[in-house]
Amino acid sequence: MTPRIKDILLSTDFGSEVMTRGWVRSRRDSKSGFCFLVINDGSCLADLQIIVDESIPGYHESIGGLLTGASVEIRGELVESPAKGQNVEVKATEIHLIGSCPPEYPLQKKRHSFEFLREIAHLRPRSNTFGAISRVRNRLSFAIHEFFQSRGFLYVHTPIVTSSDCEGAGEMFTVTTLDMENPPKDSNGKVDFSHDFFGKRSHLTVSGQLNVETHCLALGNVYTFGPTFRAENSNTSRHLAEFWMIEPEIAFCDLGGDMDLAEEFLRHLLGVLLEDCAADMKFFNDRIDNTVLATLEHIVASNFERLSYTEAIDELLKAKSANFEYPVKWGLDLQSEHERWLTEKVFKKPVILYDYPRDIKAFYMRQNEDEKTVAAMDVLVPKIGEIIGGSQREDRHDVLVARMKELDLNPDDYWWYLDLRRYGSVPHAGFGLGFERLIQFATGMQNIRDVIPFPRVPNNASF
Contacts with Mg ion, residue ranges (CB under 5 A): 389
Interface map 221-250 toward ligand 4AD (x if CB under 6 A): ---------x-x------xx--x-x-x---
Sequence-separated (6 or more) residues with CB below 8 Å from residue 283 = 45, 128, 129, 132
| Residue with the CB atom nearest Mg ion in the bound state | 389
Q: How far apart are CA 350 and CA 262, in angstroms?
A: 11
Contact between 434 and ligand 4AD (CB under 6 A)? yes
Residues 6+ apart with CB under 8 A from 114: 129, 446, 447, 449, 450
Binders of ligand 4AD: how many residues, by CB under 6 A? Answer: 23
Residues 265-304 close enough to bind ligand 4AD by CB under 6 A: none
The region of 50-58, 284-292, 315-323, 383-391 touching ligand 4AD under the rule CB under 6 A is 383-391
| Nearest partner of 96 among 29, 1, 20, judged by Cα | 20
436 touching ligand 4AD, by CB under 6 A: yes
Whether 225 and 434 have beta carbons less than 8 Å apart is answered as no
In 3D space, the residue among 438, 304, 309, 302 whose CA is nearest the CA of residue 370 turns out to be: 309
User: HEC string of 7-46?
Assistant: HHHHCCCCCCEEEEEEEEEEEEECCCCEEEEEEECCCCCC
**How many angstroms separate the first and last alpha carbons of the chain?**
31
Ordered strands of the 154-155 beta sheet: 154-155, 222-229, 242-251, 428-434, 385-392, 373-381, 351-357, 305-308
Among 355, 386, 394, 395, binds ligand 4AD (CB under 6 A): 386
Cβ proximity to ligand 4AD, 15 vs 170, nearer residue: 170
Which residues are CB-contacts of 376 (< 8 A; sequence separation ≥ 6)? 255, 354, 355, 356, 361, 365, 389, 390, 391
Q: Would you say 339 or 395 has its CB closer to Mg ion?
A: 339
Q: Identity (one letter) of the amino acid at 114? A: F
User: From the CB of 282, what's the least distance to ligand 4AD, in Å?
Assistant: 26
CA-to-CA separations, 387 to 103, 235, 277, in angstroms, rounded: 43, 17, 21
Look at residues 136, 143, 292, 321 and name the one whose alpha carbon lies nearest to residue 223: 143
Q: How far is it, in rounded angstroms, from Cα 344 to Cα 167?
A: 28
Min dist CB 220 to Mg ion, Å, is 25
Closer to ligand 4AD by CB, 75 or 306: give it. 306
Q: CB under 6 A: which stretch of 185-193, 290-298, 413-421, 434-442 binds ligand 4AD?
A: 434-442
Residue 213 contacts ligand 4AD per CB under 6 A: no
- Give which of Mg ion, ligand 4AD, none residue 167 binds (C-beta under 5 to 8 Å, depending on kind): ligand 4AD
Going from the C-alpha of 306 to that of each of 255, 265, 267, 342, 367, the distances in angstroms are 12, 16, 15, 11, 19
Q: In what order do the strands lie in the sheet with 202-204?
A: 161-162, 202-204, 174-175
To ligand 4AD, the closest distance from the beta carbon of 203 in angstroms equals 14
Please provide residue 251's backbone torsions phi and psi, each rounded to the nearest 5 degrees: -85, 150
Q: Is 262 in the site for ligand 4AD (CB under 6 A)?
A: no
Short-list 62, 11, 136, 181, CA closest to 450: 136
Q: Which of 127, 207, 221, 295 binds ligand 4AD (CB under 6 A)?
A: 207
Q: Report in angstroms how near the CB of residue 183 gets to ligand 4AD at its nearest.
A: 28
- How many alpha carbons lie under 13 Å from residue 70 in its C-beta half-sphere? 23
Residue 432 contact partner, candidates Mg ion, ligand 4AD, none, CB within 5 to 8 A by sort of partner: ligand 4AD
The residue from 23, 193, 341, 431 that contacts ligand 4AD (CB under 6 A) is 431
Taking CB within 5 to 8 Å according to partner kind, which of ligand 4AD, Mg ion, none is near residue 243?
ligand 4AD
Q: Greatest CA separation found in the chain?
A: 86
Distance in Å, CB of 415 to ligand 4AD, minimum? 19
* Closer residue to ligand 4AD in complex, CB, 58/434: 434
Considering only 28-36, 67-75, 305-313, 428-436, which stretch makes contact with ligand 4AD by CB under 6 A? Answer: 428-436
Site string for ligand 4AD, 137-176 (x = CB under 6 A): -----------------------------xx---------
Q: Is 258 in the site for ligand 4AD (CB under 6 A)?
A: no
Task: Output the smallest distance, CB 417 to Mg ion, in A.
Answer: 19
List of residues contacting ligand 4AD (CB under 6 A): 166-167, 207, 209, 230, 232, 239-240, 243, 245, 247, 386-391, 430-432, 434, 436-437
